[in-house]
Amino acid sequence: MNRLFILAIVLFLSISCKKAVTKKVDVSNIEVAVSVNRFEQKFYEADETTLPALKNEFPYLFPAQNDSVWMNKINDDEERELYSKSQEVFKDFENEKAQIEDLFKHVKYEHPNFNAPKIITLITNLDYQSKIVYADSLLFVSLDMYLGKNSEVYQDFPVYLSQNFDKSQLAVDMASAISDRYFTAAKSRQFLDMVIGAGKKMVMIDRYLPSVSDPQKIGYSNEGYAWAVANESQIWKYFIENKLLYSTDSKLVDRFMAEAPFSKFYIDIDKESPGRIGVWLGWQIVRAYTANNNDVTLQQLLKTDAEEIFNKSKYKPKK
């Protein structure tokens, strides 16, 4: 792959404030209720006398344990530090509520049967794999995973993960969790199906969050996103020349789809690339398909198989 440093810099400057080019829809008349219950405030301000009532209010958050276990947790120095920092970052949650309301309206526009879940905020002791949990009518938000990428509490996390531990990513993570409810992965182990499936999910996020920037939606730094754009034709050439699209090699998931500091082409430019480049590429293919078939609804898109999307996308990146 060519080292397109100058182009990457130009692209970085041009996309830093760029918003996604996504068809805007009018959701002003859609009504949704945004209910936020600040469980973490109730929990860390509880004592022996108020704890029983809290357990009755949130029984699903209290597996069978002696009350002394919960009091020890409430008084744990590290957890109290996370609680304190979360209150500094999320003082009244009003800005977040406005973003969530807009997200829920767009989701309901795309999925009329969607019922807005009740939001429960909590502290999960830096459980980064459970930042957002969408379960039935509830959506759990781990506030301690959105304290800002430079927070000292994330010093033991690799940068490729901690760069997204910011409250600006909260709505994106919610959108991703909600998309899982409506997305069914193909049973095929073929790499193309995985790439297109990931692309479908990214287009769902496009529809749910039309005003959010592309780097933010996929969780790339501006530099990482600029690299992907600058090297798109070379990425595609690599996939085609190495006959990856129709491969069933399970290692391709780790190399190009999984969270990682960089994608694994096994050439010297690897460390300049962002991780999950297969997800990014699938996103471009599905976007090309929707651009060429702009009357296709999101529901129809989700039901269309990968091969048809790929063929009708006429995807061909510019050199």
- DSSP for 76-98, please give it: -HHHHHHHHHHHHHSSS-HHHHH
Spatial distance between the Cα atoms of 129 and 270, rounded to a whole number of angstroms: 25
User: Is the model's pLDDT at 12 over the cut of 60?
Assistant: no
Spatial distance between the Cα atoms of 216 and 214, rounded to a whole number of angstroms: 5
**pLDDT reported for residue 145:** 98
Tokens of residue 233, six digits? 């034709």
Count CB atoms within 10 A of the CB of residue 136: 9
Average pLDDT, the chain: 92
Mean pLDDT for the stretch of residues 140-146? 98
Distances (CA, A) of 288 to 196, 284, 316: 11, 6, 9
Report which of 231, 99, 270, 117 is spatially closest to residue 171, judged by C-alpha positions: 99
User: Is the model's pLDDT at 260 over the cut of 50?
Assistant: yes
CA angle 96, 145, 168 (to 5 degrees): 40
Amino acid at 231: N
Count CB atoms within 10 A of the CB of residue 174: 26
**pLDDT reported for residue 17:** 38
Count CB atoms within 10 A of the CB of residue 86: 24
Spatial distance between the Cα atoms of 236 and 71, rounded to a whole number of angstroms: 55
Where residue 6 falls among pLDDT bands split at 50, 70, 90?
very low
**pLDDT reported for residue 161:** 96
DSSP 8-state assignment for residue 245: T
Report which of 21, 31, 30, 66 is spatially closest to residue 48, judged by C-alpha positions: 66
Q: pLDDT tens digit string along 223-237? A: 999 999 999 999 999
**pLDDT reported for residue 16:** 44
**pLDDT reported for residue 171:** 97
Mean pLDDT for the stretch of residues 113-140? 95
Calculate the CA dihedral of residues 91, 93, 96, 97 and round it to 10 degrees.
-170
User: Is the model's pLDDT at 18 over the cut of 70?
Assistant: no
User: Is the model's pLDDT at 222 over the cut of 80?
Assistant: yes
Mean pLDDT for the stretch of residues 60-82? 95
Q: pLDDT tens digit string along 149-187? A: 999 999 999 999 999 999 999 999 999 999 999 999 988
**pLDDT reported for residue 15:** 45
Mean pLDDT for the stretch of residues 282-302? 93
> Which residue is listed with tokens 């069933």?
248
**pLDDT reported for residue 22:** 63
Mean pLDDT for the stretch of residues 299-314? 95
Beta-carbon-side half-sphere exposure of residue 284 (alpha carbons within 13 Å): 16
Spatial distance between the Cα atoms of 33 and 40, rounded to a whole number of angstroms: 21
**pLDDT reported for residue 24:** 81
Q: pLDDT exceeding 70 applies to what percent of the chain? A: 93
DSSP alpha helix (H) spans, 23-66? 39-44, 51-57
Spatial distance between the Cα atoms of 87 and 77, rounded to a whole number of angstroms: 15
Give me the sign of the Cα torsion angle 239, 242, 243, 248: negative
Give me the sign of the Cα torsion angle 198, 200, 204, 209: positive
| 176-180, 267-271, 297-301: range with lowest mean pLDDT | 267-271
For 135-182, give the DSSP string: ETTEEEEEGGG-B-TT-GGGTTS-HHHHTT-BGGGHHHHHHHHHHHHH
User: Is the model's pLDDT at 316 over the cut of 60?
Assistant: yes
Burial class of residue 141, CB neighbours in 10 A (0-12, 13-18, 19+): buried
**pLDDT reported for residue 19:** 40
